[in-house]
A and B are shown apart, each in its own frame.
Chain A
């Protein structure tokens, strides 16, 4: 069964600085990968996804992620963060053999400091 690790529970970063949120997964088969964002007191919104093809995936709000199969990672990056990026970020994985089962990581809380 698949699992997801997000090693950084909290990431503080100054406004306009770059940020990387780490995600590693465990699976014995090929996977689909996702990043979601949750703003305070709101639901989840899809940022980006990797299904196949190019390993560099661009999403909304200037975020991008790179799938690295050898390191089983799918780290999220943004070159310059804004105050409005303060939110909880979740990585998720679905195995291609049982792609109905989508498992989430514990989340990373990004705080952007003015």
Chain B
């Protein structure tokens, strides 16, 4: 079991460029999440997907789009990157049955110049 994997680990973009962050989980979890972490602000929910084919906005969705490609994969896209999107991005998934545990990926450190 690889758990939750994210690619890339690091990325530097110029303002206006686009990119997609990839996330995959091999634990057969239904729900998947994208968070951003900024100093002093904790983790803020960007988007989440309760099941394959559904996505919902979180606390800070502006400037992002997501795709739940299948049960395993949940990608986050920045169409036109801005310096305010410099952050560490975490993907997560949840198993609810009986245990309710959220598993996190290792994170992607994104810098927008």
A residues at B contact (CB < 8 Å): 6, 9, 32, 34, 43-44, 46, 49, 51, 90, 92, 94, 99-107
Q: Compute how far the CA of A90 lies from the CA of B42 in the bound complex, rounded to whole angstroms.
A: 7
Interface centre among A51, A90, A99, A104 (most CB of B within 10 A): A104
Sorting the interface of chain B by its residue count into under 10, 10 to 19, 20 to 34 or 35 or more gives 20 to 34
B residues at A contact (CB < 8 Å): 31, 33, 35, 40-45, 48, 50, 56, 58-59, 90, 92, 94, 96, 100-102, 104-107
**Count, A-B residue pairs, CB within 8 A:** 52
Q: Compute how far the CA of A51 lies from the CA of B98 in the bound complex, rounded to whole angstroms.
A: 9
Whole-angstrom distance between the Cβ of A76 and the nearest chain B Cβ: 15
Interface centre among B42, B58, B100, B102 (most CB of A within 10 A): B42
Please state if A106 and B42 are interface contacts (CB–CB under 8 Å). yes
Give B57's nearest chain A residue, CB to CB. Answer: A101
Please state if B94 and A100 are interface contacts (CB–CB under 8 Å). yes
| A-side contacts of B31, CB under 8 Å | 100
| A-side contacts of B40, CB under 8 Å | 9, 106-107
Which of A34, A101, A106 interacts with B58 by CB under 8 Å? A101
Some 30 contacts from A to B, beta carbons below 8 A apart, are: A6-B42, A32-B100, A43-B90, A43-B106, A43-B107, A44-B43, A44-B90, A44-B104, A46-B101, A49-B100, A49-B101, A90-B43, A92-B43, A99-B96, A100-B48, A100-B56, A100-B94, A101-B45, A101-B48, A101-B56, A102-B45, A102-B94, A102-B102, A103-B59, A104-B44, A104-B45, A106-B41, A106-B42, A107-B40, A107-B42
